[in-house]
Amino acid sequence: MLFNILAIGDIVGQPGRKVLEKKLENFIKEQNIDFCMANAENAAGGSGITVDIAKKLFSYGVNAITMGDHVWKRKEIYDSLKSDQRILRPANYSPLAYGRGHVAIKSKGDCVIGIINLLGRTFMKPIDCPFRAADAAVEELSKQTNIIIVDLHAEATSEKIAMGWYLDGRVSAVVGTHTHVQTSDERVLPEGTGYITDLGMTGPHESILGRNIDRVLKSIVTQVPTRYDIAEKDLHIEGVVITVNRETGKAERIKRIRVTEDDNY
């Protein structure tokens, strides 16, 4: 039996939430999606997430939320990180940090899905090793399920590719987030792990990584710090659909998706 998992790239601000509200429910129905996960570390004004926003994303059809380096931006989410297993923070933060970095969640047909959230180290602030954190999380989740999806929130392409090969055959998929640019390298690795370097961005694409073009250009050209406002036009949902064999936990297909405001969903 096959199981379809939708993994959505970084949700940026109110525009990203808006396109999900309009399109996600119908997309899930029409594409026979069994489980939906989304990276939402930029969902609140472009940085962090709030309790109300998390509730809205769940109401739109998201089953699990992963985060990244902006997870601590909104203090009000700290209690929810402890109490709501559907919201993850990277597993390679200190074990003393709020929340959890991996979780097993029951989905349709009593199928249990393991989710692991990791943060890269290259060009990022110092953090524990994501590879060792992945080993520990996979070992624990494998006792509960053979379907495991990893979100590696990282800057460097090489680090994400390395993680894909490192976990090939041990997890169902490794998907990258953080750079906001969807890559075209999706494939199933030799031992059955689906892989893509970056899921892309859910939000305004007439922008520079979701931010107002003029503001970013002013900062880059003048080297004067400028507030990066969220852009508003050309909204997309980006990500992948991973088709997993429930018996083996192996990915059979991985397909990039891009849903625009004009698409009939």
Q: What positions carry a catalytic annotation?
A: 70
CB 155 within 8 A of CB 124: yes
- Going by C-alpha positions, the residue among 224, 186, 163, 178 that lies closest to residue 9 is 178
Residue 102 annotated as binding site = no
Q: How far is CA 54 from the centre of its chain?
A: 14
Sequence-distant (6+) residues with CB within 8 A of 236 are 19, 200, 201, 202, 203, 205, 258, 259, 260, 261
Residue 236 annotated as binding site = no
Classify the C-alpha dihedral 243-107-96-57 as positive or negative: positive
Distance (Å, rounded) from C-alpha 106 to C-alpha 125?
33
Residue 69 annotated as binding site = yes
Residue 41 annotated as binding site = yes
Residue 151 annotated as binding site = no
Residue 117 annotated as binding site = no
**Binding-site residues:** 10, 41-42, 69, 153, 178, 180
Q: Can you say which residues are annotated as belonging to the binding site for Fe cation?
A: 10, 41-42, 69, 153, 178, 180
